[in-house]
Structure 1
Amino acid sequence: MQQNKYLKYFNVLPLFNTKRTRDIFKVNPTIAPVREEASEITIKVFDYNQQTLEEKELDHIGEAFCYLDNDKISWVNIDGIRKSDVEAICNHFNVHYLIVEDIMSVGQRPKMDDLPPVLYCLLNMLYFNESSGAVETEQISIVLGKNFVLTFQEDAHRDVFDSIREKLRAPASKLRQAGADYLCYSLIDMIVDHYFVVMEKLGYRIEELEEKIVRSSNARALAEINNLRKELIVLKRNVTPVRDLVNGFVRTDSDLLDERISKYFKDIYDHIVQANDLAENYRDMMMNLQDLYLSNVNLRMNEVMKVMAIVTCLLAPATVIGGIFGMNFDKIPYIHNQYGFFIAIGLMLVIPVWMIMLFRKRGWF
Structure 2
Amino acid sequence: MIKKRAKKRTQEYKKHVGQVPGTLVYTGKKSDKEFQVECFDYTKESAEETILLNIEEAASYKETDSVTWINIDGLKHTKKIESIGKQYDLHPLVLEDIVNTSQRPKIDEYEDYLFVVLKMLYYDKDEKIVVEQVSIVLGKNYVLTFQESEDDVFSIIRERIRLGNGRIRGLKSDYLMYALIDAVVDHYFHIIETLGNKIEDLETELFAGNARDNINIEVQQLKREILKVRRAIFPLREIINRIEKGEHQLIFKRTITYYRDIYDHLIQVSENIDIYREMIWSLMDMYMTTISNRMNEVMKVLTIMSSIFIPLSFLAGLYGMNFKYMPELEYRYGYFVLLGVMLILFISLLFYFKRKKWI
Contact 1:212 1:221 in 2 (8 A): no
More deviation, 51-60/351-360: 351-360
Partner of 2:290: 296
Q: 1:101 aligns with which of 90, 93, 96?
A: 96
Contact 2:26 2:78 in 1 (8 A): no
Partner of 2:167: 174
What root-mean-square deviation, in Å, do the aligned CA atoms of Structure 1 and Structure 2 show?
2.2
Q: Deviations over 1:238-258 (max 9, x none)?
A: 111111111121122111011
The residue correspondences of 1:1-365 to structure 2 (distance < 5 A) are 18=2, 22=6, 32=16, 34-35=26-27, 40-81=34-75, 82-131=77-126, 133-156=127-150, 158-214=151-207, 215-365=209-359
In the superposition, relative to structure 1, how do residues 343 and 21 fare at CA in structure 2: closer, same or farther (>3 Å)? farther
More deviation, 182-191/347-356: 347-356
More deviation, 183-192/210-219: 210-219
Structure 2: unaligned runs, 5 residues or longer: 17-24
Distance in 1 (CA, whole Å) between partners of 2:189 and 2:273 is 10
Distance in 2 (CA, whole Å) between partners of 1:161 and 1:34 is 23
Task: Give the percent of matched residue pairs that are identical in Structure 1 and Structure 2.
Answer: 35
Distance in 2 (CA, whole Å) between partners of 1:174 and 1:106 is 32
Count residues in correspondence: 347
| Structure 1 residue 260 displacement after superposition | 1.0
Distance in 1 (CA, whole Å) between partners of 2:147 and 2:26 is 17
DSSP 3-state at the match of 2:328: coil
In the superposition, relative to structure 1, how do residues 291 and 20 fare at CA in structure 2: closer, same or farther (>3 Å)? farther
In the superposition, relative to structure 1, how do residues 363 and 285 fare at CA in structure 2: closer, same or farther (>3 Å)? same
| Structure 1 residue 29 displacement after superposition | 6.4
TM-score, structure 2 as length reference? 0.90
DSSP 3-state at the match of 1:239: helix
Distance in 2 (CA, whole Å) between partners of 1:336 and 1:57 is 108
TM-score, structure 1 as length reference? 0.89
Distance in 2 (CA, whole Å) between partners of 1:21 and 1:220 is 22
| Structure 1 residue 182 displacement after superposition | 0.5
| Structure 1 residue 30 displacement after superposition | 8.2
| Structure 1 residue 206 displacement after superposition | 1.9
Partner of 1:14: none
Contact 1:24 1:234 in 2 (8 A): no
In the superposition, relative to structure 1, how do residues 84 and 28 fare at CA in structure 2: closer, same or farther (>3 Å)? closer
DSSP 3-state at the match of 1:234: helix
Distance in 1 (CA, whole Å) between partners of 2:303 and 2:10 is 50
| Structure 1 residue 28 displacement after superposition | 7.0
Distance in 1 (CA, whole Å) between partners of 2:13 and 2:262 is 28
Letter in structure 2 aligned against 1:45: C
| Structure 1 residue 234 displacement after superposition | 1.0
Partner of 2:21: none
Letter in structure 2 aligned against 1:129: D
More deviation, 332-341/49-58: 332-341
DSSP 3-state at the match of 1:69: coil
Distance in 1 (CA, whole Å) between partners of 2:287 and 2:4 is 22
Distance in 1 (CA, whole Å) between partners of 2:352 and 2:9 is 58
More deviation, 229-238/114-123: 229-238
In the superposition, relative to structure 1, how do residues 228 and 100 fare at CA in structure 2: closer, same or farther (>3 Å)? same
Structure 1: unaligned runs, 5 residues or longer: 1-16
DSSP 3-state at the match of 1:334: helix
Letter in structure 2 aligned against 1:56: T
| Structure 1 residue 94 displacement after superposition | 2.2
Contact 1:111 1:123 in 2 (8 A): yes
Contact 1:95 1:117 in 2 (8 A): no
Distance in 1 (CA, whole Å) between partners of 2:316 and 2:5 is 60
| Structure 1 residue 75 displacement after superposition | 0.6
Letter in structure 1 aligned against 2:340: G
| Structure 1 residue 31 displacement after superposition | 5.8
In the superposition, relative to structure 1, how do residues 302 and 226 fare at CA in structure 2: closer, same or farther (>3 Å)? same
| Structure 1 residue 354 displacement after superposition | 1.2
